[in-house]
């Protein structure tokens, strides 16, 4: 979750953070009732194996495919994303690629 900090010189900065969360991350499996992290319920059962968290709310799920020189992230979103949210997701996928030392590709679909 991105924290917004106010200073004495103006309004809180606006930023959007996106995080593709692994399947067994404690933020997901530690809750018996997943509604505490969901902005909207998944369209169907089983869609929340790996959560995409945007600004503290679950916005979809993801899976990856590893190839020789590239990782492809397939994101199934629960709703269309704003431009800022899309940019944040792009940044998160690029960060994943850097950690794997691979090029990245992002494929998205909306399953509302």
Give the pLDDT confidence of 51-85 residue by residue, as tens digits: 888 887 888 889 999 999 999 999 999 889 999 99
Q: Are 111 and 76 in contact (CB under 8 A)?
A: yes
The answer to whether position 58 is within a domain reads yes
The answer to whether position 72 is within a domain reads yes
- Which domain, by its residues, includes 62? 18-110
β strands within the chain, DSSP E: 18-20, 51-54, 57-66, 70-77, 103-110
Q: Could you give the number of structural domains in the chain? A: 1
In whole angstroms, what is the distance from residue 35 CA to residue 14 CA? Answer: 25
Burial class (CB in 10 A: 0-12, 13-18, 19+), 52: buried
pLDDT at 28 over 80: no
Q: Provide the pLDDT confidence category of residue 4 given band limits of 50, 70 and 90.
A: very low
The answer to whether position 3 is within a domain reads no
Cα 60 to the chain's mean position, in Å? 7
The answer to whether position 5 is within a domain reads no
Q: Provide the pLDDT confidence category of residue 37 given band limits of 50, 70 and 90.
A: low
Helix (H) or strand (E) holding 18: strand 18-20
Rounded mean pLDDT, 32-60: 69
The answer to whether position 83 is within a domain reads yes
The answer to whether position 30 is within a domain reads yes
**Residues 46, 51, 21: CA angle, nearest 5 degrees:** 135
Position with higher pLDDT, 69 vs 39: 69
Q: Quote the percentage of the chain above a pLDDT of 70.
A: 62
How confident is the model at residue 108, as a pLDDT?
Answer: 94
The answer to whether position 9 is within a domain reads no
Reduced to 3 states, what is the DSSP secondary structure of residue 63? Answer: strand
The answer to whether position 106 is within a domain reads yes
């Amino acid at each position: 979750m991105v924290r917004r900090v106010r200073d004495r010189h103006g309004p809180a900065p606006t930023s959007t953070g996106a995080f593709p969360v692994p399947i067994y991350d404690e933020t997901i499996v530690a809750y018996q009732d997943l509604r505490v992290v969901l902005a909207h319920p998944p369209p169907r059962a089983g869609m929340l194996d790996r959560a995409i968290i945007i600004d503290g709310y679950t916005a979809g799920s993801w899976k990856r495919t590893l190839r020789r020189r590239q990782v492809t992230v397939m994101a199934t979103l629960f709703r269309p994303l704003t431009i800022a949210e899309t940019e944040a997701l792009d940044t998160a996928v690029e960060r994943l690629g850097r950690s794997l030392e691979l090029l990245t590709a992002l494929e998205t679909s909306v399953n509302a």
